[in-house]
Amino acid sequence: MDIQPISARYRGEVNAILKEEWACPPSVSRGKAIDTTGLPGFVSLEDNRINGIITYNIENSACEIVTLNSFEENRGVGTALINAVCSAAKAEKCTKIWLITTNDDIDAIRFCQRKGFAWIATRIDAIEVSRKLKPSIPLIGRYGIPIKHELEFERKL
Ligand SMILES: CC(C)(COP(=O)(O)OP(=O)(O)OC[C@H]1O[C@@H](n2cnc3c(N)ncnc32)[C@H](O)[C@@H]1OP(=O)(O)O)[C@@H](O)C(=O)NCCC(=O)NCCS
């Protein structure tokens, strides 16, 4: 597995994938929209093919994981991408790394807790606000579960 920063070489493909996966830009978390098209991040490569993407945004010594996708699950891709962002965030003197997921994303909820993130907040019906900023957020998400609530996870660095 080869983890590389999202350089100009990968940017076009990354943005096309994020559009397909998350209808980005924008990404919305905590009632704020963020343009993902120029965010720093990493790709995971297997035989020169992208099989994972992570993007992040640093503000006030805190690093938000804005998007995370593994396209070959249970092989360590997600873990390697999280580790790459942790190293980058530490190098930027961040004190914590955090992310938002939604109530339907059972795989992410499990993954985050297994990776040492603490579930620190649940914002009931927050996705109603997010949909005002991003009407394309689907009503029904993973496993047929209605997407309604924001869950916040964080890990101290
Ligand atoms: C959540 C997500 C990023 C996890 O990515 P992933 O690549 O499957 O993650 P990993 O492979 O690193 O870890 C998942 C499991 O595989 C295991 N694993 C890793 N390498 C392995 C290997 N070589 N053989 C067997 N199992 C392995 C890990 O130990 C982990 O299991 P555990 O939690 O029981 O320890 C992925 O499911 C995903 O993209 N989901 C859809 C998008 C999404 O929800 N994004 C938001 C994420 S916050």
Report how far ligand 1's centroid is from the alpha carbon of 30 (Å).
25
Measured distance CA(87)–CA(62) in Å, rounded: 13
Would you state the pLDDT for residue 86? 98
Would you state the pLDDT for residue 152? 98
The structural domains of the chain, ordered by start, are 2-156 (3.40.630.30)
pTM for the model stands at: 0.96
pLDDT in tens, the chain (157 residues): 899 999 999 999 999 999 999 999 999 999 999 999 999 999 999 999 999 999 999 999 999 999 999 999 999 999 999 999 999 999 999 999 999 999 999 999 999 999 999 999 999 999 999 999 999 999 999 999 999 999 999 999 9
Report how far ligand 1's centroid is from the alpha carbon of 132 (Å).
31
* Residue 16, Cβ density class (10 Å: 0-12 exposed, 13-18 middle, ≥19 buried): exposed
Please provide the distance, in angstroms rounded to a whole number, between the alpha carbons at the two ends of the chain.
24
Report how far ligand 1's centroid is from the alpha carbon of 56 (Å).
18
Q: Could you tell me if the CB of 27 is within 6 A of ligand 1?
A: no
Would you state the pLDDT for residue 22? 94
The alpha carbon of residue 128 and the mean position of all alpha carbons in its chain are separated, in whole angstroms, by 20
Would you state the pLDDT for residue 1? 86
Measured distance CA(102)–CA(75) in Å, rounded: 23
Return the residue whose CA atom lies nearest to atom 10 of ligand 1: 76
